Structure 1
Amino acid sequence: MPESIQNAGSATVTAAASDADLLAQTAIAVSAAGSALRERFGGVVRYRTREELMRALAANDGAVLDVLRPRLALLRPKAGWVEAELEGGALPPGEWWVVDPAEGNVNHLHGLQEWAVTATLVRENRPVLTAVHLPLTGDTYTALAGGGAYLDGRPLRVSEATDLGLSLVATSQARPDEDEAIVRRIGSSITAMLLDALVVRTSVPATLHLLNVAAGRIDAFWQFAGARADLLPGALLVAEAGGRISDAEGRPWTPESASLLAAAPGVHADAVATLSR
C-alpha cells in the first residue's frame, strides 16, 4: 500500500505540494458531480428486466460523468481513464483516474441512502490521492499518500479495538454475478466472523464500509474479489488513517489480490486467523 512521501529534495517536496493542490481540486470536482446524482435521487426506480436495470444504472453514471470527467481531464490532461467500473488488476504504466460515478448505484435506484461519487488518481499502480463525496450528507472524505486521511478537513483515525470478539466488522459483495466458488467463500467467511466478532454487517458498497473503518466506526472490513474502483479509495483512506491493509491471508494487498482486509491494527491478526480457517 502507499509508501510515505520522503522529503529528501526540493523536487519531492514540490511534487507533494502539487498532489495536495490536486486533491483539493479533485474534492471540488466530485462534490460538483455529486449534485447531479443527488438531483436524480427519490423513489424506487422500477425495472422488470436486466436490460431495464442496466439502462437505469447507466443513466446515473452518465449524469455524473458529464460533470466529473471534463473536470478531472482539466486537472490531469495526460492521465488515462478507467472506463469499466468492475475491472480489476494492475494498470498500465503512468497516471490513471479510477472513478466510480455512482458507487452503490443499485442502492440509489432502490431509494436507499448508501451511495457516493469517488475519484482516485493512481500513479505507477499506486493510489496517490482519493476523494469520496456523499451527496446526501455533503461529507467529503479525502486521502493523500503519505499525507493522511480526512473528513472535511478533520483527521481520521482507525479504532483502537484490540478484541475481535468486541468488534463491529463488515463485508460486501463485489458484483452480482460472482463465481460460485467466491460466493461460497463469502458465505463461509461470514459464518466464521459471526462466531468470532461481536456484530457482522453485510451490505454494499465496499467504499462506505471502508470509510467507516478509516473513521474508527467499524473495526474491520473484508471482501473477496472486487474491482479497483470499489477498493482503491477506501484502501488508501484506511492506510492513511493508520489501519492495516492486506489480503484475507495477511499478505500485502495490491489491486491484483483475490481479497482485501482493512482493519484496525489491534484486530488485524485475529481477523486474518478467522478468515483463513
Structure 2
Amino acid sequence: MSTATATATATATATAAVTATAAVTATFLSEVTAVVRTAGLILLDRFTPHARGVSLEEVVAEIHANDDAVLDVLREPLLQARPGSQWAEDELAGGALPAGEWWVVDPAEGNINHVHGMSDWAVTATLVRDNHPVLTVVHLPLTGDTYTAVAGGGAHLNGHPLKVSAKADLGAALIGTGQAKPGEDEATFRRIGDSVTAMLVNGLVVRVSVPATMQLIHVAAGRMDAFWQFSDVRSGLVAGALLVAEAGGTVTDLAGEAWSTASRDFLAAAPGLHQATLDILQPIA
C-alpha cells in the first residue's frame, strides 16, 4: 500500500468514526428530547391560567404534585437511555457531584410560576459528566419550543442554531439575575440587592425573575446579554450554562474562573460584555 493510499484510508476511517459518533449523539439527543417532551405534556395538562393554592402549605403541595407527576415519566427512560448514568436526587442541591455521568433534571423548572398560572416554566434534563454539562434539553410546553445543546455540537432552538449577543457596551445591555431557591441566607439576599443596584447604574435594564433557565435561554439566543446568580443550585444552571457556552457565550464563576457544578456562583454573558460585568460583580461576590 502506498503512502498516499494509507493516508487516504486513515483519513476515511477517522471521518467514518466521527460520522458514526455524531450519529450516535444525534440518536441519543433525539431519545432524550422525546422523553422531555412527553413529560412536558403531563405538566401542560396540569397547568391552569389561575393560581393554585392560598396558604404556604397549599402552594408547596401543588409544587410537589407537579414534581411527582413528571418525575415518573423522566427518571427510568433517561437512566435507560444512558446505561451507567446516575440520578441526582435533590433538584435544589448544589456543589460538585461524584465522578461519572449524572442526570440533573428539573421536572418543573419555574414550578412556582406554573402553580401561579404564569408562563415562565419548562422541563429540563441535562447529562453532567465529571461536573460539566455535556447534553441538555429544555422544553417549553406552552409554546412547543425545545432548546438543545451538546458539548462541541452547538446550541439550537427547534433545530436552528443559537448565537449570543454581539454587544460590547454594558450601557446598552439587558441583563438579569434572580433568587435560586426559597430560604437563601440574608447575606445572599443582600448580595442580590447590591448587585441589582450596581447593574441598574451600569446597564440599560435589569430583569430580576425566576427561574434561571428561562433567562439563560434568552442569553443563549442573544435576546438578553448576561445573567448572574449567587448560587450553586445545579438544576437551575447546568442547562443554561451549556446552551450559552455552545452558543458562543462566556460562562464563569464570579472570580472569572471556568464554571462547573463545583462553583459557588455563576455568570453567563456575551463575550463582549463578560469582563465589564465581572468587574462590577466581583467586589460584591
Structure 1 length as normaliser, TM-score?
A: 0.93
Choose 1 or 2 for highest CA Rg. 2
Aligned-residue Cα RMSD (Å) equals: 1.7
Q: Which residue of 1 aligns with 2:52?
A: 45
Report the residue type matching 2:249 in the other structure: G
Report the residue type matching 1:88 in the other structure: G
The sequence identity of aligned pairs, in percent, is 57
Report the count of equivalent residues.
270
Match of 2:68 among 46, 53, 62: 62
Matched, 1:27 2:33: yes
Q: For each residue in 1:175-221, what CA deviation from the matched residue of structure 2 results, as whole angstroms up to 9, or x when unmatched? A: 11001111111110000000000000000000010000000000000
Query: For the Cα contact (< 8 Å) 2:167–2:173, is it kept in 1?
Result: yes
Once residues 14 and 278 of structure 2 are traced to their aligned partners in structure 1, the CA distance between those partners, rounded to angstroms, is 36
Q: Which residue of 2 aligns with 1:173?
A: 179
Q: Which residue of 1 aligns with 2:151?
A: 145
Partner SS, residue 105 of structure 2:
strand
Once residues 137 and 122 of structure 1 are traced to their aligned partners in structure 2, the CA distance between those partners, rounded to angstroms, is 26
C-alpha spacing 1:124/1:11, structure 2 compared with 1 (3 Å): farther
Q: Which residue of 1 aligns with 2:164?
A: 158
Matched, 1:233 2:243: no
Partner SS, residue 135 of structure 2:
strand
User: After TM superposition, which residue ranges in structure 1, 4 or more long, deviate above 2 angstroms?
Assistant: 7-20, 51-54
Match of 1:73 among 69, 79, 83: 79
C-alpha spacing 1:239/1:8, structure 2 compared with 1 (3 Å): farther
Report the residue type matching 1:137 in the other structure: T
Q: For each residue in 1:4-61, what CA deviation from the matched residue of structure 2 results, as whole angstroms up to 9, or x when unmatched? A: xxx9787666444423321121111111100000001102102313x33322111001
Once residues 144 and 109 of structure 2 are traced to their aligned partners in structure 1, the CA distance between those partners, rounded to angstroms, is 15
Once residues 263 and 170 of structure 1 are traced to their aligned partners in structure 2, the CA distance between those partners, rounded to angstroms, is 10
Partner SS, residue 157 of structure 1:
coil
C-alpha spacing 1:124/1:257, structure 2 compared with 1 (3 Å): closer
Unaligned 5+ residue runs, structure 2? 1-12
Unaligned 5+ residue runs, structure 1? 1-6
Structure 2 length as normaliser, TM-score?
A: 0.91
